[in-house]
Amino acid sequence: MQLDQNKAWLEGVYRCPSPHCDERPVGMEIELLVIHGISLPPGEFGGPFIDQLFTHTLDKNTHPYFADIADLRVSSHLLIRRTGIITQYVSFQQRAWHAGISNFAGRRCCNDFSLGIELEGCDNVPYTDEQYQQLIQLIQLFQQTWPVLTSERIVGHSDIAPGRKTDPGPAFDWNRLACKPDRS
């Protein structure tokens, strides 16, 4: 796994460009990695719905849950499916809209200085070995590219939006990440 020469796109992964992104503020560097969990509809895996949500093509009539989310303008840089397949939606040089109202170490607007990785899953279902393997490879690549991404700067969505978000949830095993201290 490697980045292109502009450190913008992963080579050899599926690309599904999202319109839900914009430029990072001038001079803003990547300093945080946020891990998320997502399933659409909730608790169901597979299918095109995550891609559709991030590309603003989700049909609100396909499932009752979609009526409330079809018009959201959200994205992430990456998604790791349960099979380990990776999709990239937003260039790493751009700001994906994944964190929402957020705060890390007293800094608000985490989208400005973070990368977002979605794992296909939900709070109460264990993530797959394939997902952990890909996530670990990505973390190693990102730490080589952006050395500031130390273990203290790898967080869950719940860490930067407590009370508002719960993902990646209790089913995510932080101890499987070699770069992460014990969180038990």
Strand partners, 108: 103
Q: How far apart (Å, rounded) are the C-alpha atoms in residues 101 and 143?
A: 25
Per-residue CA distances from 165 to 45, 100, 102, 142, 162 (Å) = 20, 10, 10, 24, 6
Choose, from 23, 29, 118, 120, the residue flagged as catalytic.
118
Residue 31 annotated as catalytic: no
Classify 115 as helix, strand or coil. strand
Cβ neighbours of residue 128 under 8 Å, at least 6 residues apart? 82, 83, 84
- Please measure the distance between the N-terminal and C-terminal CA atoms of the chain and give it in whole angstroms: 30
Q: Three-state secondary structure along 57-80? A: CCCCCCCHHHHHCCCCCCCCCEEE
Q: How far apart (Å, rounded) are the C-alpha atoms in residues 171 and 104?
A: 22
Please give the positions annotated as active site.
118
